[in-house]
Amino acid sequence: MEPIHQSMMNNFNSLQHLEITREVHKVIPPPPRTTLAKFKTRLKETFFPDDPLRQFKGQPLKRKWILGAQYIFPILQWGPNYSLKLFKSDIISGLTIASLAIPQGISYAKLANLPPIVGLYSSFVPPLIYAVFGSSKDLAVGPVSIASLLLGSMLREKVSPTKEPLLFLQLAFTSTFIAGVLQASLGILRLGFIIDFLSKATLTGFMAGSAIIVSLQQLKSLLGIVHFTKKMGIIDVFSSVFHNTKEWSWQTILMGFCFLVFLLLARHISMKRPKLFWVSAGAPLVSVILSTLLVFVFKGQNHGISVIGKLEEGLNPLSWNMLRFQKKYLGLVLNTGLVTGIISLTEGIAVGRTFAALRDYQVDGNKEMIAIGTMNMVGSCTSCYITTGAFSRSAVNYNAGAKSAFSNIVMAITVMVTLLFLMPLFRYTPNVVLGSIIVTAVIGLIDVPTAYLIWKIDKFDFLVCLCAFFGVIFISVEDGLSIAVGISIFKILMQITRPKTVIMGNIPGTNIYRNLHHYEEAKVIPGFLILSIEAPINFANTTYLNDRYIEDYGFEEGMKKHSDLHFVVLDMTAVSAMDISGVAFIKDLKKAMDKRGLELVLVNPIGEVMEKLQRANKAHDFLAVDCLYLTVGEAIASLSSKIQPDTSSHV
């Protein structure tokens, strides 16, 4: 016991010396501000953290109008400086992504249970709109696999695409319009933080599960099955596959296997050597051309190979009169528009920011929401379904050397030429090749390295990832996403309602105080219990804090039995906010400490917290002036003189 006693005496003596030599700074309340000023500050921090109006300050009226037009239409910002050199680069990248967009557009439309021509329509108008409103130089827009799958599967639950094709098409356009309104509204109202509820773990699991579901759905085309299940679950799909073995077509299987291997090999080559990006970019179009020629020459449609059939020629017909908002289907289109809108918006912004980071420029998230929302609203009125920025096309666009959004215009013009003059060439295109293109495109969504990294870093996030993955596979796409989002929100609620609280000790020889359980060298200061709450104190967690600190006031590992305790020091550095319930908790804690003969000391309450405590104290007078300190070190140094070393307890 003697070494322990000697150590405590040394600590006490050092504290006495610290008290003499250290200046104690006074804790002062923040400067007074009106309620309106506080509201304006909070409003700005919540909705305008990037201060979009800063560029208008100090500018003449004419310049403000120009800046305003450039803010709304980014094409006016980069357009005047556009050069022939940039044009050459965009021509090459635009033609390259068009070679990928045409077969993908047809494939994804079939994935959404829509006529293939709608996929090409959706690769014409939306890119033109995005080129005017978008802020990304690399984003290539059009239909994507996940949104197509979601749209088709959600609408198919209530309406059959085969029995009621016109109604199904009308509801698809209506859902797209609602998705566009939602997306644009989030951008205009600057509510983009809502999509942040789709965490990295949620998206990783969701994308992987969706990729598997999308791939399994292509077994219908790859095997030549006619009577295939309408359900999306993995069990239903495999049951349908093995219960219809008599419909399997060896010609279809052989063609599908050959082109699938070709597409996967092209993808592998481009991944290993990024300079050969054109190999995977051109492989889908090459597959379409070769397979179409084979079917045409050998009359494959007469030997069990299913083909697209005749496609209409001409540009997008207007479809604004096809939007249906009747009460009978309103719930369906609202739900479908909401889910597909959020997912496609998240994917588009994530892809845009990814390539912007590679080229060291900024993408305005709110502008992107407005751009994507606008192109979906306009698209729904011009026979297009949900579109966004596609990762595969954007990667090709980036690798092809795109310099601006003009590459989207080049792609749209190429698709326009296809719609006007080349549609008869797709009549004999086999569905099995379209299925192979879809499988190849979605394989990249299965991100095993990221899932492994999530497992290594955060086991709870990995659980969210697994829930999204298995929920999509075994239940449904939208239910799997809902489960994962629900678990993520539950995690947030647990962090709010169960804030982290720690007991702190002193690092010997320093004035630093850290978590006793984290730093083994940290020592308990005799007579002091130093606590830290690392979260806002509000109505959601005061019950927990009451139970933890007022009932047993945070004693752990035998500290309840310490008879030499005089001060409870509450470090509030990490308490970023406090409401009326939080103020009540501090009052109750003060009363509880007084009853036990202890003195409560508050350290470093921030401005907002300090202001609320000060107002409450004027009404109830529960905090003394000398119970507030700027740092834990100053509090210990100042209060240690009140403690007399008790040697009897250590004999």
Model confidence pLDDT, tens digit, residues 595-646:
888 889 999 998 888 888 888 888 777 777 678 888 898 889 888 877 755 4
Q: Is 12 inside a domain boundary?
A: no
Question: Which helix (H) or strand (E) segment is 56 a member of?
Answer: none
CA distance 202 to 339: 14
State whether 474 and 512 are in the same domain: no
Q: Which of 31-40, 520-529, 573-582 has the lowest mean pLDDT?
A: 31-40
State whether 522 and 438 are in the same domain: no
CA distance 642 to 341: 64
* CATH number of the domain within which 605 lies: 3.30.750.24
Q: Is the pLDDT of residue 535 over 80?
A: yes
State whether 483 and 505 are in the same domain: no
Confidence grade of residue 565 (pLDDT, cut at 50, 70, 90): confident
**φ, ψ dihedrals at 307, nearest 5°:** -120, 165
State whether 205 and 324 are in the same domain: yes
**The domain boundary residue, chosen from 443, 465, 492:** 492
Model confidence pLDDT, tens digit, residues 398-434:
888 888 999 999 999 999 999 999 888 888 889 888 8
3-state helix, strand, coil in the chain (%, to 5): 65, 5, 30
pLDDT of residue 559: 47
Most confidently modeled range among 236-250, 287-301, 357-371, 374-388: 374-388
Residue numbers of the domain that contains 155: 84-492
Model confidence pLDDT, tens digit, residues 515-528:
888 888 888 888 88
CA distance 348 to 244: 38
Average confidence (pLDDT) over 46-59: 71
In the numeric block, which tokens belong to residue 96? 């390259």
Most confidently modeled range among 114-128, 241-255, 565-579: 114-128
In the numeric block, which tokens belong to residue 225? 């099955």
Q: Is 30 inside a domain boundary?
A: no
Q: Is 13 inside a domain boundary?
A: no
Closest listed residue to residue 340, CA positions, set 77, 101, 148, 189: 148
**The domain boundary residue, chosen from 492, 520, 551:** 492
State whether 128 and 265 are in the same domain: yes
State whether 488 and 502 are in the same domain: no
**How many Cα atoms within 13 Å fall on the side-chain side of residue 511?**
13
For 502, the 3-state DSSP assignment is strand
Q: Is 9 inside a domain boundary?
A: no
pLDDT of residue 51: 66
Which residue carries 């070393």 as its tokens? 645
**The domain boundary residue, chosen from 492, 510, 537:** 492
Count Cβ neighbours within 10 Å for each residue of 383-406 and write b for 16 or more, e otherwise. bbbbbbbbbbbbbbbbbbebbbbb
State whether 467 and 511 are in the same domain: no
- Percent of residues, the chain, with pLDDT higher than 90: 24
State whether 479 and 502 are in the same domain: no
Residue pair 144/390 in contact by the 8 Å Cβ criterion: yes
Model confidence pLDDT, tens digit, residues 336-376:
999 999 989 988 888 888 888 788 888 888 889 999 999 99
State whether 260 and 312 are in the same domain: yes
Q: Which of 39-43, 111-115, 533-537 has the lowest mean pLDDT?
A: 39-43
Instruction: Decide which of 11 and 30 is more confident.
Output: 30
Closest listed residue to residue 295, CA positions, set 343, 242, 256, 344: 256
DSSP state of 30: P
State whether 246 and 139 are in the same domain: yes
* Other CB atoms within 10 A of residue 201 CB: 27
Average confidence (pLDDT) over 92-113: 89
pLDDT of residue 14: 46
Which residue carries 């796409």 as its tokens? 477
State whether 452 and 533 are in the same domain: no
Q: Is 292 inside a domain boundary?
A: yes
- Identify any residues that bridge with 504 across adjacent strands, giving them in sequence order: 515, 530
Q: Is 79 inside a domain boundary?
A: no
State whether 578 and 458 are in the same domain: no
Q: Is 638 inside a domain boundary?
A: yes
Q: Is 373 inside a domain boundary?
A: yes
Q: What is the number of domains present in the chain?
A: 2
Count Cβ neighbours within 10 Å for each residue of 477-505 and write b for 16 or more, e otherwise. bbebbebbbebbeebeeeeebebebbbbb
Pairing mode, if any, of strands 513-515 and 501-506?
antiparallel
